Amino acid sequence: MLKQADTVLDSQTLRLAPPTPLVTVSPMWDGNTLANLSIDVTNDGDVNTNASVSVYRLQTTVANSSSRTVQSGETTRFDLSDGGDVYRATATGEITLRVVVETAESTVEREIATTVRSGEIQITSLSPNWDEDDLQSINYTLRNVGSIPATGTVMITASGDTIATGTNHTLQGGLTETFSYDASYNTNTDETTINLTVAHNGTTVSESVTNETEVAYSGGGGY
């Protein structure tokens, strides 16, 4: 029987939600290169946890982080660039990486993907420089519209005459570069067509420009 001085305490069980990481992945691709990868890990549980991040290409680890504490109800950001590129693809086609966030309680995976184009060189400009009938130089601009490096072999002709051949240019993916060739060619026609051909990866691209050339004639007599 309870007396007036007696105190009754209710007994309740305190239940703490385990840490459950919510993961947001933000990749930054530059052609075939994963330049930066940010991973936000949010702990929506009631207790703190430790988390680490690993990045895989197939079964190979390409990047990882050290373990860090993620406070209850807080978000911790992992930046994997560390002043350099996270991953550089050497294959073409679709490249898929797995981002794995591990805690003592669970593992969360996310996928990131990009498409890597093979190197492809285009001619964007061709400018011969004439002094009357003397070809002084040729300026030309090449662009690699692919994602990985490409090497092109250049041949230059003037109205069918080969004036340069066997010159190789290597361009990184997405790079545009202008080159100059010092020519030594004299024409004897009123029009001269300069043709630039670039062979790469089993394909050939070409560009032509025709200029009116002033041919100097000598001789003649009077009456």
Q: Which of 83, 98, 116 is the last residue of a domain?
A: 116
Q: What's the CATH number where 159 sits?
A: 2.60.40.10
Residues 36-81 have pLDDT tens digits of: 999 999 998 888 999 999 999 999 999 999 999 999 999 999 999 7
Q: Give Cα separations from 69 to 30, 73, 176, 218 (angstroms).
A: 31, 12, 45, 89
Q: Which of 89, 116, 143 is the last residue of a domain?
A: 116
Q: How confident is the prediction for the chain on average, in pLDDT?
A: 87
Closest C-alpha among 30, 134, 123, 128 to residue 85: 30
In a domain, 73, yes or no: yes
Closest C-alpha among 184, 194, 196, 183 to residue 141: 196
**pLDDT computed for residue 156 by the predictor:** 95
Q: What pTM did the predictor assign?
A: 0.69
The whole-angstrom separation of Cα 110 and Cα 122 is 37
The whole-angstrom separation of Cα 168 and Cα 177 is 13
User: How large a percentage of the chain has pLDDT more than 70?
Assistant: 88
Number of structural domains (the chain) is 2
Q: Are 193 and 209 in contact (CB under 8 A)?
A: yes
Q: Which of 116, 138, 166 is the last residue of a domain?
A: 116
Q: Are 107 and 101 in contact (CB under 8 A)?
A: yes
pLDDT band at 143 (very low <50, low <70, confident <90, very high): very high
**pLDDT computed for residue 221 by the predictor:** 47
Domain housing 48: 21-116
Residues 155-203 have pLDDT tens digits of: 999 988 999 999 999 999 889 999 999 988 888 888 899 999 999 988 9
Closest C-alpha among 30, 137, 134, 145 to residue 88: 30
User: How large a percentage of the chain has pLDDT more than 90?
Assistant: 64
In a domain, 9, yes or no: no
**pLDDT computed for residue 187 by the predictor:** 84
- SS3 label, residue 157: strand
- Our measurement of the distance from residue 152's CA atom to the centroid of its chain's CA atoms, rounded to an integer in Å, reads 19
